[in-house]
Chain A
């Protein structure tokens, strides 16, 4: 009997673990190590953040689902990887520290035959002074929608601002809280949902709503933007994004690194060297992501974290990390199997894998401050990668070490994305987008890097219906209800 340990129970880890268990059956063991008691459908957190959904609508407890699936669930955080075992034993293991199940604080060694790192991101609030509380958590000056609890808090603060806006002007800022953030999409959805709710509440005229982000142009979204066929033209996402901001009366500041946050005020530096300050009564700023801080040790107990992980803490896989300057980047730099080059029984998926480089062009201010979106590895790609990695591990277990690994390169896969711009069965809207491939391939698709036949986008009520249906569909799938495997990632 082989044992597969999946570290992380988010979209990618949950997908990997549940498919692995389905394919391996009871002949082999699947263990999930995640510090969370609940699974969270993160894309709907923005609706919790504007009071259109409750926390309970976007989460469910993991324990009963894993019990039903026959998965060994450990509510614990992974602390270290020992891919060569330790003195006196060649058996690979990880160390974990429990966060629940009545064993809080206890540590344990878990041996493995195969390991999937799907630990997701550490929300690195402290990377920006004042954004965090100095202890790695969200600080008191802004709100966040990165977790369901954050979103509940965000809505409670937003309602206070709406109440004040009945009698006086209020300033709202939404965007990215650092020059190296990803996940602009979540902030994009949140700002338009706030605007939508403000109109419904009759307070829109008293709100100054402003966007701030590290994108060099609106519509970059960390994937270098995209082109969409519309009206006989292939038009840049910049046009469509700017159009929406103008239509909704939202001003924007882009190419910005938020360098400091204080109560009611933030400071920023822009790509052209401009420095400025922005006052606010309410701010939702996405933090930059980092690896969760896993350590790695060799058989002798020497620290090999730097060999296994990149400086940001993401696990190295079969990517080309020596691509160098932007001009040298190729689609083939992106990993295909997500297998660690040093240890063939170790894989990564979702945000946990180290990308070879950015997708957007690297940029910095005259002071040398890097200001560019980092590559997104969330949503549909993270699910597809999780499933491919699980497939590879299952084949290695059942067919032997010579089994061919499954591939899921982000330069050869598309993504469907639905970005809400306001919730409502008859008055809601969302931008429905597809992009193929996620990572532009300028050799195959010169100029725009994408296949225009499969890259598409439009805003409307239909997009909102789709986002709402996907909310229920993916929660249904994650709960492993009948037919869950038929729902694609």
Chain B
């Protein structure tokens, strides 16, 4: 039987503020530190930031 991943709901408690928000799935958390994907995001974020910096000067 496959084990159940409880990491998503680890800190959630019903009828507490933690119950009222969204939490990342393991898929999302994996990509946050996935080197290849983060390198792509590094380029994308830099472009977005440069646009804001240019617009602000």
Interface residues of A (CB under 8 A from B): 239, 242-243, 245-249, 251-252, 380, 384, 413-416, 426-427, 429, 432, 434, 436, 454, 456, 458-463, 465-466, 488-489
Of B10, B32, B39, B52, most A-chain CB atoms within 10 Å: B52
A263–B11 CA distance with the chains assembled, in angstroms: 29
CB-defined contacts of A432 to chain B, threshold 8 Å: 45, 49
B1 interface residue (CB < 8 Å to A): no
Report whether A462 and B45 are in contact in the complex, using a CB–CB cutoff of 8 Å: yes
Instruction: Provide the residues of chain A in CB contact with B2, threshold 8 Å.
Output: none
Q: Which of B21, B31, B51, B52 contacts A246 (CB 8 A)?
A: B21
Question: How distant is the Cα of A306 from the Cα of B42 in the complex, in angstroms?
Answer: 48
Given contact pairs A461-B33, A466-B42, enumerate 19 new A-B contacts (beta carbons under 8 Å): A239-B21, A242-B20, A245-B18, A246-B18, A246-B21, A246-B23, A248-B11, A380-B53, A415-B52, A416-B53, A426-B33, A432-B49, A436-B56, A454-B52, A456-B48, A460-B33, A460-B38, A461-B32, A465-B38
B14 CB within 8 Å of chain A:
no
With a CB–CB cut-off of 8 A, which chain A residues contact B53? 380, 414, 416, 488
What is the distance, in angstroms, from B53's C-beta to the closest C-beta of chain A?
Answer: 5
How far does the alpha carbon of A205 sit from the alpha carbon of B20 in the complex, in Å? Answer: 24
Instruction: State the CA gap A239–B17 with chains docked (Å).
Output: 11
B24 and A427 contacting across the interface, CB-CB below 8 Å: no
Report whether B57 and A458 are in contact in the complex, using a CB–CB cutoff of 8 Å.
no
Interface of chain A: mostly helix, strand, loop or mixed: mixed
Question: Which residues of B lie under 8 Å from residue A458 when comparing CB positions?
Answer: 41, 45
Q: A242-B21, A243-B23, A249-B11 are in contact. Are A414 and B38 (CB under 8 A)?
A: no
Count of chain B residues near A, Cβ 8 A: 30
Complex formed: what's the CA distance from A384 to B24 in Å?
35
Contact B42 A414 (CB under 8 A): no
- CB pair A243–B22 under 8 Å, yes or no, is yes
Residues of chain A lying within 8 A (CB to CB) of residue B24: 243, 247
Residues of A within 8 A of B29 (CB): 247
Contact of A242 among B17, B35, B42, B49 (CB under 8 A): B17
Write the nearest CB–CB distance from B37 to chain A, whole angstroms. 8
Closest beta carbon of chain B to A209's beta carbon, Å: 11
> A243 is contacted by which of B21, B35, B49, B52 (Cβ under 8 Å)?
B21
A-B residue pair count with CB separations less than 8 angstroms? 85
- Whether B22 lies near A434 (C-beta < 8 A) is no
Sample 26 A-B pairs with CB under 8 A, ordered by A number: A242-B18, A242-B20, A242-B21, A243-B22, A246-B21, A247-B24, A247-B29, A251-B18, A252-B17, A384-B57, A416-B49, A416-B53, A426-B33, A429-B32, A432-B45, A434-B48, A434-B49, A436-B55, A454-B51, A454-B52, A461-B32, A461-B35, A462-B41, A462-B45, A465-B42, A489-B57
Separation in Å of the B19 CB from the closest CB of chain A? 9
**Is B46 an interface position by the 8 A CB rule?**
yes
Q: Which residues of A contact B21 (CB under 8 A)?
A: 239, 242-243, 246
Q: Do A436 and B52 have beta carbons less than 8 Å apart?
A: yes
Q: Which residues of B are in contact with A by a Cβ distance under 8 Å?
A: 10-12, 17-18, 20-24, 29, 31-35, 38-39, 41-42, 45-46, 48-49, 51-53, 55-57
Q: Closest B-chain residue to A246, C-beta based?
A: B18
A415 touches B56 (CB 8 A): yes
- Nearest neighbor of B7 in chain A, beta-carbon distance: A247
Report B-chain residues with C-beta under 8 Å of the C-beta of A413: 55-56
Instruction: Give the residues in chain B near A463, CB-CB below 8 Å.
Output: 45
Tell me which residues across on chain A come within 8 A of B41, comparing CB atoms: 458, 460, 462
In angstroms, Cα B13 to Cα A251, docked, is 11
Instruction: Quote the shortest CB–CB distance from B50 to chain A (angstroms).
Output: 8
Residues of A within 8 A of B51 (CB): 454
Question: A380: which of B11, B39, B56 is its contact (CB, 8 Å)?
Answer: B56
B residues less than 8 Å from A462 (CB atoms): 38-39, 41-42, 45
A459 with B52: CB separation less than 8 A: no
B56: chain A residues within 8 A (beta carbon): 380, 384, 413-415, 436
Is B10 a contact partner of A249 (Cβ separation < 8 A)?
Answer: yes
Asked if B11 and A247 sit within 8 Å, CB to CB, the answer is: yes
Closest 8 CB pairs of A and B: A242-B21, A462-B42, A413-B56, A462-B41, A414-B52, A461-B38, A460-B32, A434-B52
The closest CB in chain A to the CB of B49 belongs to A416
| A465: chain B residues within 8 A (beta carbon) | 38, 42
Q: Which of B10, B32, B39, B48 touches A459 (beta carbons < 8 Å)?
A: B32
CB of B42 to closest CB in A, whole Å = 4
Bound form: Cα–Cα A462–B53 in Å: 18
List chain B residues, Cβ under 8 A from A415: 52, 56
Residue of B nearest to A388 (CB): B57
If the complex has contacts A239-B22, A247-B24, are A426 and B17 also in contact, measured as CB distance less than 8 A?
Answer: no
Assembled-state Cα–Cα distance A238/B17 (Å): 12
Task: Give min CB distance, A426 to chain B, whole Å.
Answer: 7
Name the one of A429, A460, A466 contacting B46, with C-beta atoms under 8 angstroms: A466
Contacts of A414 in B (CB 8 A): 52-53, 55-56
How far, in angstroms, from A427 to B10 measured CA to CA in the complex? Answer: 20
